[in-house]
Amino acid sequence: MSIFKKRPLFLALFVFAFFSVVCVISNRNVRLLCLQILSLAFVFALIVAIVLAVLKFNHIGIFTTVLLCVFFASVACISSYNFFDVKLAYAESLKSEKNVVAEIKECTYRARYIEVYTVRIESIDGQAVNFNAEISTSNLMALERGDRISADMSFSPFSETAYGYDERMANISSGILSSASFDDADVLENNTGFNFLNFIAEIRERIGKTIDKNFGANAPIIKALLIGDTSDIETETNYAFKSLGISHILSISGTHFTVLLGMATFLLSLLGLGKRKVYFVLIPIALFYMGLSGFSFSVCRAGIMAILSFWGFLCGRPRDSYTALFVSFTAIVLIAPYSIMSISLWLSFTATLTILIIIDVFGAHLFNSKRKWYAKIFFYILSNLLITVCISFSTLPIIALYFGYISTVSPIANLLIVPLYEIFLYIIPFAVSLSNLALPVTITEAYGSYVMSLVNNLADTDGILAAVNYDFVTIFSCIGITLTLILLAFPLKRKIFISIPSIISIIAIVAGIGITASQNADNTCISYFVSGKSDGIVVTDNNETMYIDITNGSSSSSYFAEHIAKENHSVSLSAYVFTHYRSNHVNTFKKLISRTKVKTVYLAVAKDEAGISLMNQIADIAEDYNIEIVYYDYGAVFDFESCTVNVFEQQFLGRSSHEVISLNISAKGKDILYLGSSFAETEYNYATSAANAEYIFFGQHYPKTKNMFDLKTSATLIYGNEEVYGFSKINAPAYVLSDGLQYDIVLK
């Protein structure tokens, strides 16, 4: 078997995909070099092909295939260069204030203090351009979709390391190339006149409103399954699906198209239409459903493949799913070059290619229609297990780099939950169509709630996530996948040989994770980080991670803590320590526990009325999520794994009413001291603690004082901001002064 045999177009499209990836991971000079070499190669191949055609050379087809491959490789380089080095480079070069004319596409966020819009920028300082941007204003203007505005905007680039979150990557992969802010804008006109896209958007909006009106808690899931609208899905629901490895259910994909177009085929056949007429009608239905689902990349991939399948049948051509898959990939990348950076496109593409290969290699053994009913059930379960495991392996490099963890129960969840949601897909269209009747709505609500309860119960199991953000995981999986693709290019008599590289890679990865985890199990990692004007400490011990919150309650700090936990190969923040209370802590805690698994929350016993109220609010939230609550007193030691923590009595500077937090962490026989203020200006004396500490962290709010510090210590290392006054006078063997955001200590 060879997936390349007698498939010149498929081979050319494969080359297009390869060079598209090369261009993404390369810089401008490499893209230019590839473009120049391929241009010369194309001209040379074209001349050779013409000469051989004139000479009537027997093997002209080989050179024609080469010419086709070089052509598609050149197209990939041209497309990448035009996007990355022309359009994107221009958008990211905008930094000063510019006069902008833009059309509002949607309002992405609206609050009392800010409005954020996604817009298509038409011109900048009178020069015509065409790219999407994110704009924000503090003046509440309530702009609507289709409004054309003129405003003076200040541009700024997206951050690549916003507390461990690559903001630039996330936005560019969605087609948003720049960000800007403005104070006021003039509305020129509204362009919401009739066109196909506006018409579909209006229908999509009406369906969404109908679902919201008639359905209760299941409305967000129903909208996601039917029209691909995931905007209202709560973060805890997203986390539950990710924990089980079934997030693909919430994205319109091949499964959704198969079910919904299958229903359309059945209804059309009831009207007496022949098979050719049914397939002819299914093409515009597929196009319409792509628009109704929001034209996401996974939707477009599934829709294009379906349309090519219908068109191939109408033209009397055999179905070639491999070529159809790569045609869809090429079309999406050419229309939207930024899609090459989209995680959803790569996961959808990789999963579909894996399924095609499994069907090609094992289909004759797994999908034999002549078996008895009990054998069919057995092989159905076996095929689903095999597909899930293979997809998990083929997408492992992407997941390891992007998410850093995998679900160990994904095969079971896909066997139990996915079929239930497939049944739900059959119910939803009729339920929404008949939503003015009580019975369909009641049945849909009951069924949806039942399935969602199964999801939540299964996702609530401890230890179902495993960290995979190790370099060797990506390397071994890429080697296994590459060797598998190479073997697919050869017509092997025994197809089982194709799976050998993947099996060896999986064994090596499992063994590597086990060895690495056992080696690091006895290590304790303590990280001090700076997030804006706040500090935080993250402790990882015995593969469990604790976040000590010394912040003003900012949500960005919790994201930073999660990022550090991921660096330490911990899949969640299992413990959260509150050292004091601010009103922002309540919302930050709610957001955090909706996206990560917190097992224990440590609450400092508040001493004032406001603090007690906030402490009780956090305790109530923890109880709702079945999180263990541990109360501790200032100055009293509490345990976390093999570490002990002592949050000292709150201090108050003379010039401020805000409390200052200092604490000590003991691990592996060593003391790590965090000082939030100068002992010379507070009541607490740190002389004893400092003298015994092995490491000292000076918080960024360590006050600048006219008096030199008089801190006697034998600490191995002292960490502090270089702005700390008189720090060089401290009597210590070594110290680190920098403006870094993160300091790490690993104790073995």
Look at residue 608 and tell me whether its pLDDT is greater than 80: yes
The count of C-alpha atoms lying within 13 angstroms of the C-alpha of 708, restricted to the half-sphere facing its C-beta, is 7
Q: Is 195 left (phi over 0), alpha (psi -120 to 50) or beta?
A: beta
Q: Which pLDDT tens digit goes with each residue over 535-582?
A: 889 999 988 899 999 888 888 888 889 888 888 888 888 899 999 898
Position 41 scores a pLDDT of 84
Which has the closest alpha carbon to 527: 487, 564, 490, 556?
A: 564
Look at residue 198 and tell me whether its pLDDT is greater than 70: yes
Look at residue 62 and tell me whether its pLDDT is greater than 80: no
Q: Which pLDDT tens digit goes with each residue over 490-517?
A: 777 777 788 888 899 999 998 988 888 8
Position 76 scores a pLDDT of 92
Question: What distance in Å separates the CA atoms of residue 445 and residue 15, rounded to the nearest whole number?
Answer: 48
Mean predicted confidence (pLDDT) in 293-313: 87
Look at residue 442 and tell me whether its pLDDT is greater than 60: yes
Q: Percent of the chain beyond pLDDT 70?
A: 88
State the DSSP H helix or E strand holding residue 698, giving kind and residue range, or none if neither. Answer: strand 695-698
pLDDT band at 708 (very low <50, low <70, confident <90, very high): very low
Q: Is 644 left (phi over 0), alpha (psi -120 to 50) or beta?
A: beta
Mean predicted confidence (pLDDT) in 602-617: 91
**What's the CATH code, domain 94-190?**
2.40.50
Domain topology for 521-747: Metallo-beta-lactamase; Chain A (3.60.15)
Largest CA distance in the chain: 97
Mean predicted confidence (pLDDT) in 287-294: 86
* Domain extent listing, the chain: 8-90, 94-190, 197-469, 476-519, 521-747
Q: Which pLDDT tens digit goes with each residue over 138-153?
A: 887 888 888 889 999 9
Position 266 scores a pLDDT of 83
Q: Is 543 left (phi over 0), alpha (psi -120 to 50) or beta?
A: left
Q: CA 340, 400, 413: angle at the middle one, nearest 5?
A: 100
Residues 6+ apart with CB under 8 A from 319: 309, 312, 313
Q: Which pLDDT tens digit goes with each residue over 111-123?
A: 777 889 999 999 9
pTM: 0.84
Look at residue 725 and tell me whether its pLDDT is greater than 60: no
Mean predicted confidence (pLDDT) in 189-206: 75
Question: What distance in Å separates the CA atoms of residue 222 and residue 225, rounded to the nearest whole number?
Answer: 5
Look at residue 184 and tell me whether its pLDDT is greater than 70: yes
More confident residue, 41 or 716: 41
Position 204 scores a pLDDT of 86
Question: What distance in Å separates the CA atoms of residue 155 and residue 134, rounded to the nearest whole number?
Answer: 10
Position 623 scores a pLDDT of 92
The DSSP string of 284-332 is HHHHHHHHHTT--HHHHHHHHHHHHHHHHHHTTPPP-HHHHHHHHHHHH
Position 709 scores a pLDDT of 46
Q: Percent of the chain beyond pLDDT 90?
A: 21
